[in-house]
Structure 1
Amino acid sequence: MWLFSRKEKEKHRDVARTSGHSHCDNTVTNSKYTIITFFPLNLFEQFHRPINMYFLIVALLQFIPSIAPVSPLSTVGPLLVAFSITAAKEGYDDYCRHKQDKEDNSRLYRRLRKSETDAVSEIEDVRCAQLRVGDVIVLGQYEMLPCDVVPLLSSNGDGSVYVSTENLDGESDAKEKLACFADAWCSEKGVNFATARTEAVEQSEAIVFVDASDFIIHSEGPNKNLAAYEATIEFRINDQQKRKGLALDNFLPATSIVRNTQFVLAMVIFTGNESKVGMTKQFPPSKWALLDRECTRFAKCVFVFQFTVVVLWATIGGFVTHDHVASHWYLGSEVSPPDTMFYAVVLPLRYFLMATIMVPISFKVTVDISKAYVSKVMEWDLGMYRDDQNAFCKVNNSALAEDLGQIEYVLSDKTGTLTENKMNFCHLLTQEGHVHSVEDNTLSVVASAAQSNHYLMNLIRCLTMCNTVERTALPTGRDESSMVTHVSSWTSPSPDEIALVEGASKCGAALLERTRRSTTIRISDDEETYEIVYLIKFTSQRGKMSAVVRSPSGQFLLLTKGSDERILPICVEDSVDKGMVSRRLSEFASKGLRTLTFGFRELDEIFASDWTQRVTAAEAEIETSRRNTMLEELHAEIESNL
């Protein structure tokens, strides 16, 4: 159990661990070697390979004059060259890792510290490696988290914090987390937590609130389980002692990126190698390329053949030497006849050294030089240069470069793994069967045509309002070294929602503003503000998402989107030609496009009000299984007759 506290009177962090063990710093280390360990570890790794050990044995044997037929320099020289090239290549790769570690550890972050003249803490810039457990840091938009933290307050009134974990799991979608002081802040400010999303929190007010708080976090110890987090926080607000549990929703892992949140005040929980990401790291193994493994396998086969030949030669040579030793004085035998040592050891080793040309050391030298050259060619390749990042291809391990040319199949779980997971709006299929496309510039007429087409108008409303997008918060002036750039004025947990909103703007319908309570759209020149009554979120089991909205005139609408397998069966039979829609969607899918189907339903005011009350009551049900059953029935009730 770890204990973190921040006392009101002390105005500074007070960190302790009940076991008495000190916390590690936040230094990031991804390198393999140091100046002291490089030489012995690199030699161990090189001689760990059978083919290198073979060449070493050959070189040592050639230092024995009675065995070696040639000078040992003929083998030692090339061997030193080969080992030096490999060591230099490994050393350069590790130097690049050291350089990246230094850059990461020197990245600047903002930390709260006690002010000598003011009651409010000051913000100071510190290097990433200087962060310690118990520090309260200020994170900005698009800033990468330097360590594991628990968010205390955010710029959003309801305490929501959006982060991207693409560095952990490859998912660039924004995930919503919750600051643990959100409800306490709303209570003190007299703000309704249900509508607090529209309330903006000033950074100075948040710092004052945290400074005035008297809280202790009891956290679990370091572990590498990224799918769970358990802790409790005790705090005093308005002379009332409170206690609440913290879970994964209140935990931000290191390397996450803050999205759509102007600022986050967070307490450092785990640092450096004790962070969840740090504990999943392992000592970088020595990777063998496929060519190295094949060379080792063939070398073993050649060695077996070589051993067989040596035994045969030594046997025949032993008999010949025994019979003609007197006349063969040039063989170097000083005894007549030679003793057993000569026949059993010296003679076989002589033949062994003569047969070493079967595994030429020049091959190893050539391969190592080729690997280094190929790696540099890849890094110099203009075809892999990215203009937006001003970066060339980076080879992290030059020993594996040639493996890329031997790939025959690429197995991928989904398109986002192979692509940048950035979607573009391409085609719009209307209820009548007309297709408007970006390619033929026919999307711009959709908004004007919708003025006289009831179905098309509601299709546009679905595009702009049936989503959970939010306006991207622009970052305030921060050091760009700890930030990533954004590409859209909207952010969403799902990239297809951003593509739909941006596609709707190409159709002449723009989403102007969206909060959790309302959304404002402009179709042609007409602006409309709709109240968001209720959202039925998308799940993989449901395969669809719905939004209940109310127009300025008081009309309730249900807007639904999802896969055609889920939407078409719940549509009214005479509202659309389902066969035509299926054929068109198959054509789109055959081109590699992702497809979505939209539906709508006009709701009676009495039914909509009654349904909203019933779903609110169902959400308050304590028993989980009963609550889920009630919600499923209510969702199915309203998502029908589209």
Structure 2
Amino acid sequence: MAPTKRLEKLKLSTLLTFMRCHGGSSDDHLRIGTVGFSRVVYVNEPDRLEEEGFSYLLNEVSTTKYNLATFLPKSLFEQFRRVANFYFLVSGILALTPLAPYTAVSALAPLCVVIVATMAKEGVEDWRRKQQDHELNNRIVKVHRGNGHFEESKWKNIKVGDVIKVEKDNFFPADMILLSSNYPDGICYVETMNLDGETNLKIKQALKVTLDLHEDIKFREVRQTIKCEDPNANLYSFVGSMEWRGQQYPLSSLQLLLRDSKLRNTDYIYGAVIFTGHDTKVMQNATDPPSKRSKVEKKMDQIIYLLMSSLLMIALLGSVFFGIWTKEDLRDGELKRWYLRPDATTIFYDPKRAALASFFHLLTSLMLYSYFIPISLYISIEMVKILQALFINQDIRMYHEESDKPTHARTSNLNEELGMVDTILSDKTGTLTCNMMEFIKCSIAGTAYGQGVTEVERAMAMRKGARLDDDIENGDHKDKKNDNSPHVKGFNFKDQRIMDGKWVHEPNRVMIRDFFRLLAICHTCIAEIDENEKVSYEAESPDEAAFVIAARELGFEFYKRSLATIIVRERNPSQNVVEKRKYELLNMLEFSSSRSRMSVIVKEPEGRILLLSKGADRLLIALNGT
């Protein structure tokens, strides 16, 4: 069996304050019960809502573009938005009249083939979306069914008022109010990557009055009433109140757990469902699947317009001359082209009604020259898009091995757009690095350590035509050939001057020691220790994890923390023994954008009190010089 991990149960909300959410104002709480703040939830009594006349949406969601009733009209509308399809539809209708120079079947059959093939492609892609919705709606979660007993239930069967138990690394099935967690102070860590793209963890915390609800049996007699805002699309605010045991307690976004966010670094949580299905905030932000048209398709429409204009000019010119010649067939009772019998003809060649005959000739010419516009162009493009989507789904170079996820083309309408990217706009470094941080280099007391090459340095060297590997032939390059040590995630540091305890021989060894002590102490990571005393870390951001891992690999291992102490296991290079140093945690100064740094005040075992800070280099260098 895999070694079980024991996670230290600490009151970390006191330490991890910099992730506190923004609560609603007191003025907003006064509006509860008015328009826009009228939602009522009876916790652990979902059937009571129906008895009192409240009608809330089911938790089943659908992201499909069509259903059985709307597929045919909506799909036909999409097809005839294309200029060529509409043109051939008009030509097909005219082919049913005596004006047509060919049979109606020859005009309508190709159009039907194109329309049916395209509609079939749209139907298959929408069916795949429906299958994904089916998989999502049938996920399993534990729901309280009375007497402290939790049963597994499908997401789609969850009702407003249900009490849900969500376990580690699972998604929240609906918008919920956090009641408790496995931590004594009711905090939990949430990943909102599916909502806002952020991979750093957010901290949520339950109200103090519900902290004792941390076991299944304790929900046997729980009855609460939650009054809150109506469903809206604002992900970052929430206003509500909880009535329990005759007391009112304000609720804010600090207690709100959103659908499609994931529980991380927490064994389990209990929550009360307040919004379900399309009432949830993530679905309130969702829009109906748009009718997307690529640049190639829009360009094709422009070309079709040009071809239609040319066709119209040719047909119009021919019709004008036809009208002139038809009118001259009968002049002053004389037959000019007597062999056409203009005196006994139909309206289509009647010299007495030459203008009308010219108009009918125009319609006939438009049908006769319709092959000037290639109807097979659209079906060819559709077939190419389908094949492209298949190749994308099977492309091994677009497969993410760590998460075991291949590329999935949900729609093939915009395949060609992937090859037309000319500008990439990025908001911050984490977006470019996929939040995968590695400790490669550092500078201590003015001396640079680390012989590795970053991707930025390598890219700049390639742009300038230089070869970095030649420059480090005596250093990192040879070390890589001879180094058979396993790779540690987050640590890619190579420098024989300070590795393996050799830092004690450096002239600035005291500063090197203090530097790595700072990395082992000044953070908010949580240590997970397995039965073999092997330590791993759970961090809110990948850069913090990389710093702590680097300190551990270089002999300064963050081992344990409590509310008042931090224990670091340091390797003494001279005696080759590991010593435990206990630091008394006096205070932690939270990180903020205005301070651009995080600080801790600790007391060493020797009695010295230290202020340790890490943050933006420009700010810390300026502070160090004052």
Please say whether Structure 1 and Structure 2 have the same fold, judged by a TM-score greater than 0.5. yes
Name 1:448's counterpart in structure 2: 501
Which of the numbers 95, 101, 104 marks the counterpart of 1:62? Answer: 95
Q: Residue deviations 1:375-423, cap 9 Å, x none?
A: 1111122221233333322111111111111222222212322442111
Q: Which residue number corresponds to residue 339 of structure 2?
A: 327
Equivalent position to 1:264, from 260, 269, 275? 269
Contact 1:430–1:456 (8 Å) recurs in 2: yes
Structure 1 gaps of 5+ residues are: 116-120, 187-200, 475-487, 573-640
CA-to-partner distance for each residue in 1:284-323, whole Å, 9 max, x for gaps?
Answer: 1111111111111222233233323322221111112232
Specify the alignment match of 1:370 in structure 2. Answer: 384
Change (3 A) 1:331 1:29: farther
Residue in 1 that maps onto 2:615: 562
The aligned runs of 1:424-573 (5 Å cut-off) are 424-437=438-451, 439=476, 441-442=494-495, 445-446=498-499, 448-451=501-504, 453-471=509-527, 489-524=536-571, 525-572=578-625
- Aligned equivalent of 1:3: 40
SS at match of 2:365: helix
Aligned mates of 1:46, 1:147 — CA distance in 2: 37
1:443-467 Cα shifts (integer Å, max 9, x gaps): 6834724557221111001111111
Superposition TM-score, scaled by structure 1 size: 0.77
Partner of 2:106: 74
Conserved? CA contact 1:174–1:491, under 8 Å: no
Residue 493 of structure 1: CA displacement?
A: 2.6
Is 2:227 the counterpart of 1:218? yes
Tell me if the contact between 1:443 and 1:507 (Cα under 8 Å) persists in the aligned partners: no
| Aligned CA distance change for structure 1 residues 58 and 332 (closer, same or farther; 3 Å) | farther
Which residue number in structure 2 is paired with residue 607 of structure 1? none
Query: For 1:152, which of 159, 170, 179 is the aligned residue?
Result: 179
Change beyond 3 A, Cα 1:489–1:312: farther
Aligned to 1:356: 370
1:129 maps to 156
What is the aligned counterpart of 1:100 among 120, 132, 137? 132
Q: In 1, distance between residues paired with 2:556 and 2:590?
A: 23
* Alignment counterpart, residue 286 of structure 1, candidates 288, 291, 295: 291
Q: Is 2:111 aligned against 1:111?
A: no
Give the one of 76, 83, 89 matched to 1:50.
Answer: 83
Question: 1:106 Cα shift?
Answer: 0.7
Q: CA deviation at 1:333?
A: 4.6
Deviation at 1:349, TM superposition (A): 0.4
Give the letter aligned to residue 231 of structure 1.
G
Listed as ranges, the matches of 1:148-297 within 5 Å are 148-180=175-207, 182-183=208-209, 185=211, 203-204=214-215, 207-236=216-245, 241-297=246-302
Q: Which range is displaced more, 522-531 or 334-343?
A: 334-343
SS in 2 for 1:541: coil
Q: 1:330 to 1:83 in 2, by over 3 A?
A: farther
Contact conserved, 2:179 with 2:210, CA < 8 A, in 1? no
Instruction: Give the drift of 1:549.
Output: 1.3
Aligned 8 A contact 2:180 2:210 in 1: no
For the 8 Å contact 2:342–2:351, the answer to whether it is kept is no
Distance in 2 of aligned mates of 1:472 and 1:98: 40
CA shift at 1:214, angstroms?
4.0
- What CA RMSD, in Å, does the superposition of the two structures yield over aligned residues? 2.6
Pick the aligned partner of 1:415 from 423, 429, 446: 429
Q: 1:499 to 1:563 in 2, by over 3 A?
A: same
Q: Which amino acid aligns with 2:367?
A: L
Moved more, 412-421 or 162-171: 412-421
Aligned twin of 1:140: 167
In the TM superposition, residue 105 of structure 1 has moved relative to its aligned partner by 0.7
Q: Residue 467 of structure 1: SS of its match in structure 2?
A: coil
Q: Deviations over 1:29-81 (max 9, x none)?
A: 111122333222211221133332112112222222x3222333333222122
Whether the 8 Å CA contact 2:525–2:545 is kept in 1: the answer is yes
Distance 1:401 1:333 in 2: 56
Q: How big is the shift at 1:542?
A: 1.4
Does the CA contact (< 8 Å) of 2:328 and 2:351 recur in 1? no
Question: What secondary structure does 1:510 align onto?
Answer: strand
Rounded to whole Å, the distance in 2 between the matches of 1:164 and 1:311 is 65
2:586 aligned partner, one-letter code:
V
1:156-175 alpha-carbon deviations (Å, 9 max, x no partner): 11111210100000001110
**Cα distance change of structure 1 residues 344 and 299 upon mapping to structure 2, 3 Å threshold:** same
CA contact (8 A) 2:320 2:358 kept: no
Go from structure 1 to structure 2 and tell me whether the alpha carbon gap of 1:533 and 1:425 turns closer, same or farther (over 3 Å shift).
same
TM alignment of 1:25-36, pairs within 5 A: 25-36=58-69
Q: 1:14 to 1:558 in 2, by over 3 A?
A: farther
Kept in 2, the 8 Å contact 1:141–1:473? The answer is no
1:549–1:556 contact (8 Å) kept in structure 2: yes
2: CA distance, partners of 1:265 / 1:20: 27
Please report how far the alpha carbon of residue 123 of structure 1 lies from its aligned counterpart in structure 2 after TM superposition.
1.0
Tell me, yes or no, if the aligned pair for 1:109 and 1:137 is still in contact at 8 Å.
yes
- Identity rate, percent: 28
CA distance in 2, matches of 1:70, 1:330: 24
User: Displacement of 1:84 after TM fit?
Assistant: 1.9
Separation (CA, whole Å) in 2 of partners of 1:208 and 1:411:
51
**Distance in 2, Cα, partners of 1:214 & 1:145:** 22
One-letter amino acid matched to 1:266: G
1:337 aligns with 2:351: yes
Deviation at residue 210 of structure 1 after TM alignment: 3.8
CA distance in 1, matches of 2:344, 2:439: 86
Q: Label 1:110 to 1:84 Cα distance change in 2 as closer, same or farther (>3 A).
A: same
Please state whether the residue corresponding to 2:605 is helix, strand or coil: coil
State whether residues 326 and 354 of structure 2, in contact with CA within 8 Å, keep that contact through their aligned partners in structure 1.
no
Match of 1:416, SS state, is: helix
> Partner amino acid for 2:311?
Q
Q: Return 252-261 or 214-223, whichever deviates more.
A: 214-223
Which of these residues, 71, 82, 87, is aligned with residue 38 of structure 1? 71
Q: In 2 relative to 1, CA 326–278 (structure 1 residues): closer, same or farther, beyond 3 Å?
A: farther
Distance 1:141 1:398, change over 3 A: same
Contact 2:278–2:284 under 8 Å retained in 1: yes
Contact in 2 for aligned 1:15/1:133 (Cα 8 Å): no
CA apart distance, 1:142: 0.8
Please state if 1:388 is matched with 2:402.
yes
**Alignment partners' CA distance in 2, 1:348 and 1:332:** 22
Change (3 A) 1:54 1:415: farther
Q: Distance in 2 between matches of 1:288 and 1:545?
A: 48
> Measured at CA, do residues 520 and 208 of structure 1 come closer, stay the same or move farther in structure 2, by a change above 3 Å?
same
Residue identity opposite 1:505 in structure 2: R
Describe the SS at the equivalent of 2:199.
strand
Q: Distance in 1 between matches of 2:323 and 2:188?
A: 83
C-alpha deviations, 1:244-303, integer Å up to 9, x for none? 211111111111101111111100000001111112222211111111111112222332
Matches of 1:415 and 1:434 in 2, distance apart? Answer: 23
Shift of 1:213: 3.9
Match of 1:315 in 2: 320
